[in-house]
Structure 1
Amino acid sequence: MTASDLISFARGAPSLDIIDVAGLKAATDAALTQDPGGALGYGTAIGYPPLRKLLAERHGVAEDQVLVTNGSMQADAFLFDQLVVSGSPVVVERPTYDRTLLGLRERGADVRPVALDLDGIDTEELAALLDGGLRPTFAHIIPNFQNPAGYTLSLAKRKRLLELAEQYDFVVFEDDPYAQIRFAGEPLPTMLELDEGRGRVVYASSFSKTVAPGVRVGYIVGPKELVARVRARATNTYISPNMFAQAVVYQFCVDGGLDRSIAKVNAALAERVATLCAALAEQLPEAKFTAPEGGYFMWVELPEGVDVARLLPAAEERGVTFVKGTDFLLEGGASTMRLAYSGVRADQIAEGVGRLAEALRSLRVAAG
């Protein structure tokens, strides 16, 4: 079996067929026509100024509260460098993004996972920990269509989390790259909006999920003093981020390309989720899952006793892959997996689930 035959539920990226290639070509031409100097020259660490201004307007903040970076992972890294105090507690969701765990542990954080429910982090479990003496520096939260679970933090929990942050004096790091990838349900206000300028929230997002992963354009919004410190770190790291990519993204936004792209991606992913749910129900009926209302990911629990560390190589032998749930946890999760449906065409999904089912059957046969 060749690499081209592999059906991958592993990568959290849109497949090429739902990326607006023509729109990005037009945006590139517009960027080079209207502002060749800005697009092709060195800038400063604040990012491409027109894009920074646009983002400030969209979030209702001053421009000096925004910094545009080379993707949101770099924004996360800069923020972790400023916020993590080695040996001090940091709250994360359980499970959470594997790169978040890696970045925090590399910086010496005392990572404290709190259970993730269908409506987001268990705020009452967090409240009990805080009442018992936990004093985190910050809580890292992926509020919309969480990676890896696909769950969304409810409005009531968003408000409760902000109350706890105020009461116990910690920051909420709102890591929100999936907010606009919604194909069911109603949008919710960000915690940045709900905070109403009190400075309890640092917000990060990205255009990788709404435009294309290769543009590598992300940004942060936060208190001016914190953003200034991040800007100094960015200046010392690269002087200027990728101004060309940021200029293209800006033109894509102002010309309506972003809205068209989001509509196209959302329609495609709604179809893929429906197809994936149907395929799992038919071919892996023992699997437990909740259909997400947006985003790229679905969390799947297999029966107790299934070891995904053994299932993964068996699946890859049959031409399908996924990410083990254990990658997103400090402990536990041996029978869980994350399925990313964003990069798999709808006509591949049933075949991919069929291969997963065959791999699972092979483990059971081998076990006798």
Structure 2
Amino acid sequence: MPQYRRFTAEDAIQFANQHSELFGEHSKLTAVSFGDNHMNQVFRVKNQFNTSLIVKQALPFARGLSDRWPLTLDRSRIEAQALQNFAKAAPLLVVEVLHYDVDLAAMLLEDLDHLTLLSTALTEGRQFQQLGSQLAEFIVNAGFANSDFSLDLAAKKSKQIQFLNPEPLQISKDLLFNDPFSNNERNQIDASLYPLAQHIWLDEQLQAKVAALAASFRSKPQTLVHGDLNSSSIFATADQLKVIDAEFTGFGPFGLDAGLFIGSLMLHYCLAPALQPDQSKAKDQQNYLHNQIKLFWQQFQRQFLQICRQQCRDPLFGNELYQQQFVADVLRDLTGYAGCELIRQVIGTFRSPVLSTIKSPAMRLQVSQHALTLGQRLILQHQQVSSIDQLLSWLPTGSPQ
């Protein structure tokens, strides 16, 4: 039984070579550490023919984060098994886990260097027309497979124990609900945003809505969620999509992943005027993002109700009226979580790095104000949302045509 040690580049090479037949006996392997990850170290192991795999190892601490967030190495096992669980439910839409070692807290993954990180692609103004439908397919199938619609009570409780992940979930709760809505020293805030940030911190009505969303996050274990499904956890091309990085997984509300995804797209919507070279291109990118959000929800609603009709195992949950009410609740939940994600990305501990690339202080302020104002509205009115068109009508420049 190997004892945990922090991998060197040579350790990563040996781990990849030992647990994969991809390289071959005479391969000349190199390993390069890459990425800015606070909780893991990641290596790309490559041979002389540019064939490569990824080695990801959990660290026993969170680099640069508060001591209030202790971490266990078991989260690596949980992440690997969650990715395998998701891949079984949604084939071709999840990064492949080739091997994981519980004692070394390490996993071997396929390399997705032929794809583009979605956050990078959207920042560059690229458009993937299948994005919304592919994410809907992932969330519907992975969510359904781990929910009451598919599992009996004993099976679901067993999965909840398997994926008990309190330390990363505590980090998620703090980063999404606590830090952005209080004057926390970890927050990254431009001085020009302090008046609006202070308004958010002192708004009792907003705070009450955030508390309710946080309570649901903690006490609504509807399905196994990814837990961090924004544009930095998705690789894509025009015809392919892969979800990665499930270290914040655990049981939670069905609308959480959908809300984080939509909140991420809404941030890029707000960013478009500052990132695109002219007004026409910015408008085109906003139209694209608007349409992908709408497509996502339309496909989610259609596919979820369809899989419930075909595969629901509990006759009680097979009631079509209940299923429609469930979907309506998901829309309300995702609206609130999208609002929290927007505000987190602007004034939270790990705000969007794209904001720092906007050279004009006036434009950066305007983009940030639009995102914060939209986030507040989504949170305050999430219980009143009854359609995706209503939600989209709240975007800063209205609904693009």
Report if TM-score (shorter chain) is over 0.5.
Answer: no
Is the helix fraction higher in 1 or 2? Answer: 2
TM range (shorter): under 0.3
Q: Which has the higher contact order (CA 8 A, sep 6+)?
A: 1
- Structure with the higher fraction of residues in strand conformation: 1
**TM-score scaled by length of structure 1:** 0.26
Superposition TM-score, scaled by structure 2 size: 0.24
